Amino acid sequence: MPNTISQNDQKEVMRRYLFDEFSMEERVNFEKHYAADRDLFEELVAFENDLVDAYARGALTESERKNFASRYLTTPQRQRRVKFAESLLDYASKSKSPLTPDHVRAEGSEAFHLKEWFGIHNFFQLHPRAAAIAFTSVVAVSICLLALNLKLRDKLREFQAEQAGMVAEKQQLWAQMKVLTEQLQNLPGHNDRNLNPGVTPPTQEMEVAQLTIAPGQLRSGDAQNVLVIPPRASSARLQLKLDHREYSSYSVSLELPEGTSVFKGKALKSQVSQARRKTLFVTLPTDRLKDNEYYLLRLQGTASDGSMQTVDEYAFRVQWKIRALPK
């Protein structure tokens, strides 16, 4: 970001970014700036912490709270973050820790500013036990995520091995059919020497581009949001992570950053993975995907009353592999 921008203007820019008021192009430019500028990144983190803290303390106006709820609390991760901040403040309000004179305002201010004593930034220093519990919880969640990641990798290897086995089996069946056809042609009294089995050999490589993606905008450095397409792939398979809301079916719209739609899909059904998480598989034709281009996949669900409701947005970048030239 330019250094000439005022502090208030910079806060407004950060607020628009957190409230998803940027276009795709503006978001990508902003993230390039804050990824390259450590000071700007730290200011963004501090601004978001203050914003969550103010909401949890009830320090926002009614219009600001409504805007915060509708524009910021759009993902489960952000909702959990706010609930955690509210839980910390609730714990602090019930704590029996003694107050020092530095924590108390002038006479007549019994309802002192909660942030000065129990703010998110200094809460753990005043309550080491709560810090230990929070740290233990983070470690436990990290271990669970690591175990899940390893399990998913094993499943992916099994799927790839199964796919390779199917290709080998098709090739074997074709070879057997060719041998049987030649034997039939050589039988005595068989006049049709041009008998064709009517089967073409299967391709040596059945490549399908695959990407598992969570909802949310594309962040700088998110390697998992890059869809790598092999040279021979004719389709790309996206596995979308869903929340627990129920819809009878889903529809998708794949768009470019400027809003141009390049693909639409309807009547898609969700599935439940072995990890008991709802997912949705979307198959995209690779001829609609350009190399090094950003795409936004908008997901809608059909509610019980038949109305279409916006569910989530998934952003990713496409990267085509270059086919190796023969030596």
Q: Is residue 201 part of a domain?
A: no
Residue whose token pair is 């040596």: 204
**Percentage of the chain lying above the pLDDT 70 cut:** 75
Sheet holding 235-241, edge to edge: 209-213, 235-241, 278-285, 271-272
Q: Dump pLDDT digits (tens) for 22-35.
A: 888 888 888 888 88
d(CA 152, CA 25): 33
Q: Is residue 244 part of a domain?
A: yes
Q: Is residue 275 part of a domain?
A: yes
Q: Is residue 276 part of a domain?
A: yes
Q: Answer with the one of 101, 125, 149 that is the final residue of a domain.
A: 125
Structure tokens belonging to residue 318: 């496409």
Contact 241, 277 (CB under 8 A): yes
Q: Is residue 177 part of a domain?
A: no
Domain housing 308: 209-320
Would you say residue 45 has pLDDT above 90? no
At 118 the pLDDT is 45
Q: Is residue 18 part of a domain?
A: yes
CATH code of the domain covering residue 267:
2.60.40.10
**Residues 6+ positions from 161 with CB-CB distance below 8 Å:** none
Would you say residue 205 has pLDDT above 90? no
Query: pLDDT grade, residue 138 (50/70/90)?
Result: confident
Q: Read off the pLDDT of each residue in 249-265 and give the average, rounded to a whole number.
A: 93
The region of weakest confidence among 22-26, 129-133, 186-190, 211-215 is: 186-190
Contact 123, 92 (CB under 8 A): yes
Would you say residue 124 has pLDDT above 60? no
Number of independent structural domains in the chain: 2
Residue whose token pair is 């806060």: 11
Structure tokens belonging to residue 319: 């990267």
At 320 the pLDDT is 92
Q: Is residue 282 part of a domain?
A: yes
Q: Does 262 or 138 have the greater pLDDT score?
A: 262
At 6 the pLDDT is 74
Q: Read off the pLDDT of each residue in 198-224 and give the average, rounded to a whole number.
A: 63
At 263 the pLDDT is 95
d(CA 230, CA 236): 10
Whole-Å CA distances, 242 to 65, 139, 304:
26, 24, 17
Would you say residue 105 has pLDDT above 70? no
**Residues 6+ positions from 190 with CB-CB distance below 8 Å:** 184
Phi, psi angles (nearest 5°) of residue 325: -75, 145
The whole-chain average pLDDT of the chain stands at 77
d(CA 227, CA 254): 14
Query: pLDDT grade, residue 268 (50/70/90)?
Result: very high
Would you say residue 114 has pLDDT above 70? no
d(CA 311, CA 299): 6
- In the chain, what are the helix, strand and coil shares in percent, each to the nearest 5? 45, 20, 35
At 123 the pLDDT is 55
Same domain, 315 and 219: yes
Q: Is residue 36 part of a domain?
A: yes
At 276 the pLDDT is 79
Contact 297, 314 (CB under 8 A): yes
